[in-house]
Structure 1
Amino acid sequence: MAYLSGILALAAVWVFCAFLADRFRLNAALLPLPVLAGVAVWLCLWGFAGFLRLGGWLVYLAAAGCAVWLAAGGGLLRAARRLAAPGFVFFAAAGAVFFVLFAATKPMFIAWDEFTFWGTACKATKLGNALHAAAPGNVQAGSYNPGMMLLVYFFQFFGKGFSEWSAFFAYDTLFAACMSAVAAPLDKKRWPTAAVLLAGCFLLPWFFSAPGLGGVSNIYCNVMGDLPLAFVFGGSMCLYLSLHRRAAGGVLLAVTLGFLTLIKDMGLAYALIVAGLACADWLFADGWPGLKRLAKTLGLGAALAGPVLALFLGWSRYYAAATGASKVTVGSEEQVGYFGMLAQGVGQLLGLTGRTEKFEKLTGLMARSVVTVPVCLLGGGIAALAVIFGLLAVAWAALAGSRRRVVQFAVLGSACFGVFLLFHLFLYTFVLSEQEAYQLKDYIRYIGPYYLGWALGAVGLLALAAEKGVLPRVSRAAGLGLLAGVCLLAGVRGRPAAGFWNMPHTLYDERRDVAARAASVNGLLDWDDTVLLISQGDKAYRWNYYAYELNARLGRGFGGFGYGPDVEKGGTGWWDTTHMNLVNPVDAGEGRAEVYEYQTVCTAEDLKRFLLDRRYTHLLVDTSDAYFAISVAGAFGVTDLPAGRTDRVYLFRILYEDGGVRWEPVEGGAAG
């Protein structure tokens, strides 16, 4: 059914695009992005109400109704002519290619964050037919926004299980939709120009994050949120550039910005940036405005910002209602609200309150980061900005009658970029620990989407210049030459040995092993069970794989030296963690080499106290060792565990009796 679901999803999108293009005489190349965005927003609203599956059925029924309307009204030929725009043809062809490629190669999740949230949340949404915060599953970062999970849900709506390759297919279809919006200004006479522009759009992610020659690239083969954030940010800008002052443009843009908000928390900032740029474009593009145009622009701003804020706050309330936890606090060392973070950050920035040492250091690091931190194949952010402004310069030279639009895009985009850096200064100060903050951890993931999205917007302006500018041949040649240089650089210096087209399946060997082991005991577990995993020597990879594969809640372990009171209360010190490797205190004295890279110094008595506190229902032994098999397991009544990994896992029920703990083998829980 995964194949049929993918085909029906593509067909539904094409039908919606054909209907909108014919009914409202819209540029078909602009429609795939707002259609996909609209589907995700629609499903989100039904998910809030607890009827996600009904929302999916209504989407497909609406698509069937549009198809009937086109056929009965004789609009098929008219719609087909409108769909022949270069951007839409690229979208349709790219979607078909991605479907065939992924259906044939069946890639799997391998990135760390796909198991800590992104992939696991997609699976939970699909199997639970509910937004991931309310669906059963081991989603660790449950407060993250649900937009991409809902898009994946739409693309495998009719399947019974969850298909990982279909998730990649859904993501990449969205990227193709964004590229279609970039090339929308080009008509049927501009196929060569469109081909170069679309090739540039396709290669830009490698320009901004490339593994280098001989590496393995997961671009277009991951289900994390950074690349969708960048593409939808850039595609949204191209929407307002191409739908200048059209009422339909406001509706399509509002829907798309709502979806942008649902991709990640930072999507709220991106959506408001695009809304501000669109309002400025509508207000000033044709000269200084009068009061009437100012009033209309304020109305437009409210119409764009309203859905954005409503969806952001709606998800926050839904998450709080579903989990009982707050979504509006952040912080690794101490919790602080979003508004509190901004207030404290602005206060320190303006000198209204005393600056902390951490804030002072990070201010310098962030100011220099545009030069010192590589974000593209040419080096630091300053090099990426040079490329973006090179594209804008060509567009400015060509758009003689609309140069104000390019200037606004450059000036306001630069101002927003500065504010964006400032916001991340606050994030590093109040959210990350000192060690992570001073390393500017994940800087490229945080800042990179702005560079890529802004570059896509610049290419969209270049497309406008190529279609409507003065000296079209000269401007087109200059712009395409610059873009071709970026393509060449990405193709030569950023070309990986393997990627989405030939991802080495040896990377999935451990995934398959864990999947088989989990499947052997899933029939003995349900979502009310909590399972403590023992996999000695693991670096938490197998823990995350089991969290994804098991049909039960995976219990967290502890780290430190023993389990007992906090250090401040006279104890040895311990902390919550995910996976733990249990080590004999005799082998973990001062000056001794670590037995495992990540280890918990733990006696059988420590583990007993821990289990009595947590009350986990089951214990799953994936990999044992001599210490665990003899000294630890023996204290709980188990004497036949192997001292290593075998071809089977061992599932035990944890029994709590008279203040003691013992493990009882589950019948059938040691399947080969």
Structure 2
Amino acid sequence: MELLCVLAAVLALFLACAALTLKARVPAGMAPLTALSAIVAVFTLAGMAGVLLPAAWAVYALCAAGGVWALWPRKGSRPDWQALFTPGSVLFWGMALVFAVYFFIRQPLATGFDELNLWATAVKVTKVDNSLYSTATLGTPWAVTQNPGLPLLSYFFQFFGSYADWKIYLAYDVLYFACYAAVLSALPWGKWRVAVPLAAVLWCTPFFFTIYNHTIYLADTYLTSYGDVPAGLVFGGAVALWLALRQTDGPRWAVLPVLALAANLKANDFVLSLAAAGLIAVDVWFFCDSPFKKGLVRRTGFAAACFAAPMAVYYLWNVRYVGWLVARNSDSGGVGETSAALSDVVVNGVKILLGQPVEGFFAERQPQFLQAMADMGHQFWTSDGKLSMIGQGRNVVALILLLFAVAFVVAAGWKLRARIAALAMLSTGCFVGYNLMLALSYGFIFKPFQAEGLYDYNRYIYSYYIGWFLIAVACLATALLPQLEKSLSIQKEKDGPTAVFRSELRNPRWGLAGQGAVLLLAAAMLLRQGQVVLPQLSVLGFADSEFSDRRAIRAEAELVCSYLNEDDRVFFVSQGDNGERWFSAVFDFYPVLVDYSGVVSTMVGGGGELGLPELKPEEEGPKNFYYHGFTAEELDSIVRGNGCTVLYLQKIDDIFVQSYQDLFTDGLEEALSGQTLLYRVTEDGFAPMEMEVTAS
């Protein structure tokens, strides 16, 4: 049944794409990325307005109506089915269907720390509540302000049927495949010798720039709900889609929803969306197909629209909506705004780079900022910074620039070569700017320990590498196609000057060598991936044992929830937890609420070791680092004051028993004997709940 629900979503997407292709002239290979981006944009606006559920029904109805309108045969004419199937679209629909069936059979689960503390939890909350997760009550002490693009993309595939983790991965991978299709979308069937190896290159791309050592664990590139890979692919996919639109003379507006999506995936990918908008704006404004002054106003308007799309998302979400969330969170006793304003960060960071003095907070953080820049340079140039299958950043940049160079050499006509050169130079400049943004983040937004270890640097930087590589590949694909060049000349005749328009079809120079370069790249990437990632450790062959621990935890959570009411609020106890088990419980129990299980105002809770202050272990480790020292009276007050109705004792130890057994009406006897995991909060104390506990 769940497979049919997902296939219904895929069918709705197909109908929407058919309408875009047959009625709006959006080429079939580009339609999926445009359609998905437009759907996310509608869902975002609807979610902010509090009408997500009716908007979703309306979107599905429009998809169905559009598809029927486009495909219904009319007297004297039949739908152009051939237009719906190109190398790009066939790749997209084939992979989407195969992965839908495959994930339904294999049923992978969310396991990563960030998946459970945000990405997967956000999808589940959105599905269960049919509203944005940012306004949900989760018992957490902070406002969730992450951009909603990816959870809402997943919501489209979760809409029918029940929530399931594997639908998240399917939604993400469908977005991946839509970006791949955009890269291939200008290639006709006659260019299959280019399309086939290029498809292999695209398949390897997320692996190639995210895995940098021989792995003995599951390489979960296609089995993750993190936003870093999608951010990079959509950044590159937007520019690739634009290049294909120009090549096929498709409608220019089709790229605008994609630029909006690029700004709506992660809080820190706004810079990527502006980079994509800038590259497209320069390409359309400077490299026009007609005399420069002709159509200048229209080109300028479209260039402005390219910037307006991501900036509108940033303003509506990051300024207006997040501003409201932060204010609401602060008014309700939350932490409010916790970092410096972005504008102040940029201004003071530039001042430091120019050698000008700064004051206050920025003067205190100046050494941290400068050290972060030095550490990032060290990662880029030395072997310590292995961030990809081919090593450090300098190797990645060299590969990408080499692809631009090959595209430049084989491209037909001076105009296309000039466009490729401009994209290569400007994207290199954007890479420098993106690194500056990361340095500013480490210097003035992240905590000192995060800056000291360049926390998650690999995830942040490979977003740009993936998108940049896609742009280079798209340039090479375009360079291998014939180009129609138009020219205008003025000839003097007896009756006066006459304008003569000429058009000439130019074929690629050394096109066979260019095809060989694509084939060589595909072979090299497949070989390298085979050396680093074993088939049984990839999405194509992972073992069921990869998720055995997670399945056991979820089974226990489902058992516990069967004894709870929806209005219960659960106080979570798992001695020695570093926060992972608490996040897991928040995710698994929802819509039953798991409390922060501590003191919100001091950010003490969310797992850890509970015990009397004097019993804190002296030895280093999680129990020492995450120790929450409460007296019995304090713990009782916290449980009752937070509104908790049930205690879930996932794991207790001697410290917990010695510290708090008097709070429990049975002295924790039933918990210690394995008869229960739950205690009800009563006036007389915490009373054991009768339940059947499965032996672990």
Asked if Structure 1 and Structure 2 have the same fold, meaning a TM-score greater than 0.5 normalized by the shorter chain, the answer is yes
User: What percentage of aligned pairs have identical amino acids?
Assistant: 29
Aligned partner of 1:445 in structure 2 is 459
Aligned partner of 1:578 in structure 2 is 606
Q: Do the aligned partners of residues 480 and 23 (structure 1) sit closer, same or farther apart at CA in structure 2, a change above 3 Å counting? A: same
Aligned partner of 2:29 in structure 1 is 29
Task: Indicate which of 341, 351, 374 corresponds to 1:337.
Answer: 341
After superposition, the C-alpha distances for 1:519-568 in whole angstroms (9 at most, x for unaligned) are: 23435545654322111233332212111011333222459xxx9xx9xx
Q: Do the aligned partners of residues 445 and 645 (structure 1) sit closer, same or farther apart at CA in structure 2, a change above 3 Å counting? A: farther
Aligned partner of 1:143 in structure 2 is 145
Say which SS state the counterpart of residue 158 (structure 1) adopts: coil
Letter in 1 for 2:399: V
Q: Do the aligned partners of residues 77 and 186 (structure 1) sit closer, same or farther apart at CA in structure 2, a change above 3 Å counting? A: farther
d(CA) in 1 for partners of 2:234, 2:572:
39
Query: Are residue 274 (structure 1) and residue 284 (structure 2) matched?
Result: no
Where in structure 2 are there 5+ consecutive unaligned residues? 483-507
Task: Indicate which of 299, 305, 308 corresponds to 1:306.
Answer: 308
Letter in 2 for 1:422: L
Shift of 1:383: 0.3
Aligned partner of 1:383 in structure 2 is 395
Kept in 2, the 8 Å contact 1:146–1:263? The answer is yes
Aligned partner of 2:368 in structure 1 is 358
Kept in 2, the 8 Å contact 1:511–1:545? The answer is no
Letter in 2 for 1:386: A
Bigger Cα displacement from structure 2, 73-82 vs 536-545 = 73-82
Letter in 1 for 2:394: I
Aligned partner of 1:571 in structure 2 is none
Letter in 1 for 2:353: L
After superposition, the C-alpha distances for 1:571-618 in whole angstroms (9 at most, x for unaligned) are: xxx752421212455553657888666433444244245446645443
Query: Are residue 536 (structure 1) and residue 611 (structure 2) matched?
Result: no
Alignment of structure 1 residues 164-563 onto 2, 5 Å: 164-210=165-211, 212-244=214-246, 249-286=251-288, 290-316=292-318, 317-321=320-324, 324-325=327-328, 335-354=339-358, 356-372=366-382, 373-401=385-413, 402-468=416-482, 469-495=508-534, 497-523=536-562, 525=564, 529-550=568-589, 551-557=591-597
d(CA) in 2 for partners of 1:520, 1:116:
22
Say which SS state the counterpart of residue 546 (structure 1) adopts: helix
d(CA) in 1 for partners of 2:560, 2:79:
56
Kept in 1, the 8 Å contact 2:180–2:202? The answer is yes
Q: Do the aligned partners of residues 289 and 606 (structure 1) sit closer, same or farther apart at CA in structure 2, a change above 3 Å counting? A: farther
Bigger Cα displacement from structure 2, 589-598 vs 139-148 = 589-598
Say which SS state the counterpart of residue 620 (structure 1) adopts: strand
Letter in 1 for 2:437: F
Bigger Cα displacement from structure 2, 280-289 vs 375-384 = 280-289
Letter in 1 for 2:99: F
Q: Do the aligned partners of residues 5 and 52 (structure 1) sit closer, same or farther apart at CA in structure 2, a change above 3 Å counting? A: same
Q: Do the aligned partners of residues 448 and 654 (structure 1) sit closer, same or farther apart at CA in structure 2, a change above 3 Å counting? A: farther
d(CA) in 2 for partners of 1:264, 1:193:
33
d(CA) in 1 for partners of 2:83, 2:325:
44
Kept in 1, the 8 Å contact 2:87–2:195? The answer is yes
Shift of 1:283: 1.8
Shift of 1:26: 3.3
d(CA) in 1 for partners of 2:190, 2:688:
72
Shift of 1:50: 1.5
Q: Do the aligned partners of residues 654 and 180 (structure 1) sit closer, same or farther apart at CA in structure 2, a change above 3 Å counting? A: farther
Shift of 1:513: 2.9
Kept in 2, the 8 Å contact 1:120–1:137? The answer is no
Shift of 1:43: 1.6
Kept in 1, the 8 Å contact 2:145–2:325? The answer is no
Shift of 1:435: 2.0
Aligned partner of 2:685 in structure 1 is 662
d(CA) in 2 for partners of 1:97, 1:380:
34
d(CA) in 2 for partners of 1:663, 1:587:
22
How many residue pairs end up in the alignment?
650
Kept in 2, the 8 Å contact 1:332–1:432? The answer is no
Letter in 1 for 2:321: Y
Bigger Cα displacement from structure 2, 600-609 vs 462-471 = 600-609
Aligned partner of 2:40 in structure 1 is 40
Kept in 2, the 8 Å contact 1:626–1:644? The answer is no
d(CA) in 1 for partners of 2:402, 2:48:
44
Bigger Cα displacement from structure 2, 375-384 vs 611-620 = 611-620
Say which SS state the counterpart of residue 375 (structure 1) adopts: coil
Shift of 1:27: 2.0
Shift of 1:263: 0.8
d(CA) in 2 for partners of 1:294, 1:441:
46
Shift of 1:78: 4.2
Kept in 2, the 8 Å contact 1:517–1:648? The answer is no
Aligned partner of 2:116 in structure 1 is 115
Task: Indicate which of 662, 675, 689 corresponds to 1:634.
Answer: 662
d(CA) in 1 for partners of 2:682, 2:325:
29
d(CA) in 2 for partners of 1:223, 1:466:
35
Kept in 2, the 8 Å contact 1:282–1:297? The answer is yes
Kept in 1, the 8 Å contact 2:370–2:443? The answer is no
Say which SS state the counterpart of residue 647 (structure 2) adopts: strand
d(CA) in 1 for partners of 2:53, 2:473:
38
Say which SS state the counterpart of residue 619 (structure 1) adopts: strand
d(CA) in 1 for partners of 2:257, 2:295:
23
Shift of 1:102: 0.4
d(CA) in 2 for partners of 1:112, 1:81:
45
Aligned partner of 1:658 in structure 2 is none
Q: Do the aligned partners of residues 647 and 106 (structure 1) sit closer, same or farther apart at CA in structure 2, a change above 3 Å counting? A: farther
Shift of 1:170: 1.1
Q: Do the aligned partners of residues 322 and 553 (structure 1) sit closer, same or farther apart at CA in structure 2, a change above 3 Å counting? A: farther
Aligned partner of 1:127 in structure 2 is 128
TM-score by length of 2: 0.86
C-alpha RMSD of matched pairs (Å): 3.0
Bigger Cα displacement from structure 2, 143-152 vs 519-528 = 519-528
After superposition, the C-alpha distances for 1:29-73 in whole angstroms (9 at most, x for unaligned) are: 111111111111112222222221111111221122123222133
d(CA) in 2 for partners of 1:72, 1:594:
67
d(CA) in 2 for partners of 1:326, 1:425:
29
Kept in 2, the 8 Å contact 1:333–1:432? The answer is no
Kept in 2, the 8 Å contact 1:204–1:487? The answer is no
Kept in 1, the 8 Å contact 2:670–2:676? The answer is no
d(CA) in 2 for partners of 1:305, 1:275:
5
TM-score by length of 1: 0.89
After superposition, the C-alpha distances for 1:291-337 in whole angstroms (9 at most, x for unaligned) are: 5554333311321222322222222333444574479xxx9996311
Alignment of structure 1 residues 598-617 onto 2, 5 Å: 598-608=626-636, 610-611=638-639, 614-617=642-645
Q: Do the aligned partners of residues 431 and 275 (structure 1) sit closer, same or farther apart at CA in structure 2, a change above 3 Å counting? A: same
d(CA) in 2 for partners of 1:57, 1:545:
31
Letter in 1 for 2:36: L
d(CA) in 1 for partners of 2:621, 2:150:
44
Where in structure 1 are there 5+ consecutive unaligned residues? 567-573, 656-660
Kept in 2, the 8 Å contact 1:624–1:641? The answer is no
After superposition, the C-alpha distances for 1:358-381 in whole angstroms (9 at most, x for unaligned) are: 222223223333213222112111
Letter in 2 for 1:542: R
d(CA) in 1 for partners of 2:337, 2:673:
37
Aligned partner of 1:56 in structure 2 is 56
d(CA) in 2 for partners of 1:343, 1:74:
64
